[in-house]
Structure 1
């Protein structure tokens, strides 16, 4: 069975007002979207429920992060069970900004992934290499090391709840983008690794999406690669061109 194309929009800590978020929702609500694509947007947590209430039902929302505990004295954190109770279906975990700015390790990401799956959430799991690692030819090695703790934490059947987002750190917010060939190579390597370390069925069915300065101008070529199953979009998800990215597979 073909993998359903997936387009996520990571708003990060943008834009700064509720009115701006509502305007973004209106753009999506009024647009003609490819109904074969799964669309998910990830606003800052304070706007998750208000946006979910005004968005069209075929556009889902995602948290940008969560903790691995259900409850307790963890000031500033949100638990997976809270997200599930609020009917938030997805959470982004392991984004490079969480890894670099907030010093989350791959083991931390695996713990959060385990907790999210246990709470009934689906996970957008981010992996990717820095420019120095890319230039040293270590892309596959780095990504595999990021995946290993998650592979150890999950049962094979639980991978149906995982979307892997390959995001080369050097392409996030820089205007640089991996070529379609570079993206395809990285995605194919991930799929091969899943086949060897989980199962061929999981490798074939798991969606692997690309993130890193995706725009309306480069999304069509990227979408044509056999192992690119969609996008995790940053800055462009805040602009009207996000609709064009969602519709990238249309002729």
Structure 2
């Protein structure tokens, strides 16, 4: 049975002190990890302090990105092995902002997924469709192509350690969330694609999240859909009380 997950992605927000204060405010008010997995992805500079503050609680700390090499002459990049050895559990890869602003391709994301898995991290891989396809009323096909490319060469055991997040880029940071049926459609297509690539049993073991303008108003409907295993939350995860409302929806 897939344990649902609610993960917050802070992006480039919060100082180290603010990050630790946030963790201290929420860590004792979270559901047991066997009922709901909770994670917070903060800026790299804050991760070790966040991890230390969260010790003994159900909260897992995630990185927002990593490189596809463990070491080398890669100024400014973050080693997946160093993240793992620092106690970090998840890493977000392929977010639309990384693809758009930093020109990360599916080939790069594929390398990062493999490197993260080899280092012991559990990737949260973001996949999107386009506003044009959605406005045109067509089915979400782009997200299927993303899965085929991003997961290329992964074994069945590997893919079961990956969490996918369906994040339509027109819903990220816009306040315009996909309605539950649209969100469910994207998540369903991801699972069907994994089933096609591997088999039904493998697909049934992979967690698939929705992300994009998740709020306290729509969390309940999203989490009640059988095709959605949780949410990846942006702006609504920046306030500790709002994050707790989402987690305890």
Partner of 1:11: 10
1:158-185 Cα shifts (integer Å, max 9, x gaps):
1221010111111111111000111111
Q: Give yes or no for contact 2:9–2:233 (8 Å, CA) kept in 1.
A: yes
Q: Give yes or no for contact 1:165–1:209 (8 Å, CA) kept in 2.
A: yes
Q: Give yes or no for contact 1:66–1:78 (8 Å, CA) kept in 2.
A: yes
How far the C-alpha of 1:30 sits from its partner, in A, is 4.0
Aligned partners of 1:45, 1:63: CA distance in 2, in Å? 7
TM-score calculated relative to the size of structure 1: 0.93
Partner of 1:21: 19
Partner of 1:135: 135
Q: Give yes or no for contact 2:129–2:141 (8 Å, CA) kept in 1.
A: no
Q: Give yes or no for contact 2:68–2:80 (8 Å, CA) kept in 1.
A: yes
Counting only pairs closer than 5 Å after superposition, residues 127-206 of structure 1 correspond to structure 2 as 127-137=127-137, 140-206=140-206
* Structure 2 SS opposite 1:228: coil
Aligned partners of 2:101, 2:202: CA distance in 1, in Å? 31
Aligned partners of 1:32, 1:122: CA distance in 2, in Å? 21
Residues 110, 137 of structure 1: CA spacing in aligned structure 2 closer, same or farther, 3 A cutoff? farther
1:93-134 Cα shifts (integer Å, max 9, x gaps):
000000000000111101100111111110000001221232
Q: Give yes or no for contact 1:194–1:202 (8 Å, CA) kept in 2.
A: yes
Partner of 1:96: 96
Q: Give yes or no for contact 1:215–1:236 (8 Å, CA) kept in 2.
A: yes
Q: Which moved more, 1:79-88 or 1:226-235?
A: 79-88
Is residue 31 of structure 1 aligned with residue 34 of structure 2?
no
Gaps of 5+ in 1: none
1:179-208 Cα shifts (integer Å, max 9, x gaps):
011111111111111111121112111110
* Structure 2 SS opposite 1:161: coil
Aligned partners of 1:164, 1:104: CA distance in 2, in Å? 17
TM-score calculated relative to the size of structure 2: 0.94
Partner of 2:248: 247
Partner of 1:118: 118
1:53-104 Cα shifts (integer Å, max 9, x gaps):
1125310111110110121110000111111221211110000000000000
Partner of 1:105: 105
Aligned partners of 1:96, 1:138: CA distance in 2, in Å? 21
Q: Give yes or no for contact 1:151–1:198 (8 Å, CA) kept in 2.
A: no
Residues 126, 23 of structure 1: CA spacing in aligned structure 2 closer, same or farther, 3 A cutoff? same
Superposed CA RMSD: 1.4
Q: Give yes or no for contact 1:170–1:176 (8 Å, CA) kept in 2.
A: yes
Q: Give yes or no for contact 1:9–1:40 (8 Å, CA) kept in 2.
A: yes
Q: Give yes or no for contact 2:32–2:58 (8 Å, CA) kept in 1.
A: no
